[in-house]
């Protein structure tokens, strides 16, 4: 069974379009994340949700909007796509991020977004 899954795996679209990436985890974790990885492999956190509530919202354009319908899902909607949005987007989850205990993050396989 896949622990953290993302769809689609590849997404090619035109500038100005709106698109969504879906993420689901079946680990029963409380916290989910979205990361952006650029072409140089640099990994930057975008959002973090704990029990469906937004906890971290790094400096990300407001064209990016996460939505968590339940604890197992965290989707990423992107409006008015730009060339610079091309990257690999990773979803991750962890057991409990805010009790001060260390915990492992489990990553999805990534979604490669290409904006033309």
- Which positions lie near another protein, rule CB under 8 A? 4, 31, 33, 40-43, 45, 48, 56, 90, 92, 94, 97-110
Report in angstroms how near the CB of residue 94 gets to another protein at its nearest. 8
**CA atoms of 61 and 69, how far apart (whole Å):** 21
Residue pair 86/12 in contact (Cβ under 8 Å)? The answer is no
Closer to another protein by CB, 81 or 90: give it.
90
Report in angstroms how near the CB of residue 52 gets to another protein at its nearest. 17
**CA atoms of 30 and 89, how far apart (whole Å):** 20
Report in angstroms how near the CB of residue 114 gets to another protein at its nearest. 15
Closer to another protein by CB, 64 or 107: give it.
107
Closer to another protein by CB, 64 or 106: give it.
106
Report in angstroms how near the CB of residue 3 gets to another protein at its nearest. 10
CA dihedral 5, 6, 9, 13 (to 10 degrees): 170
Residue pair 8/112 in contact (Cβ under 8 Å)? The answer is no
**CA atoms of 53 and 90, how far apart (whole Å):** 19
Closer to another protein by CB, 20 or 103: give it.
103
């Amino acid at each position: 069974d896949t622990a953290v899954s993302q769809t689609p795996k590849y997404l090619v679209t035109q500038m100005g379009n709106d698109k969504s990436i879906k993420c689901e985890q079946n680990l029963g974790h409380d916290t989910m994340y979205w990361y952006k990885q650029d072409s140089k492999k640099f990994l930057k956190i975008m959002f973090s949700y704990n029990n469906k509530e937004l906890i971290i919202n790094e400096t990300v354009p407001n064209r990016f909007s996460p939505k968590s319908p339940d604890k197992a899902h965290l989707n990423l909607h992107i409006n008015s796509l730009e060339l610079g949005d091309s990257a690999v987007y990773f979803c991750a989850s962890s057991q409990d991020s805010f009790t001060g205990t260390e915990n492992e993050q489990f990553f999805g396989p990534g979604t490669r977004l290409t904006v033309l």
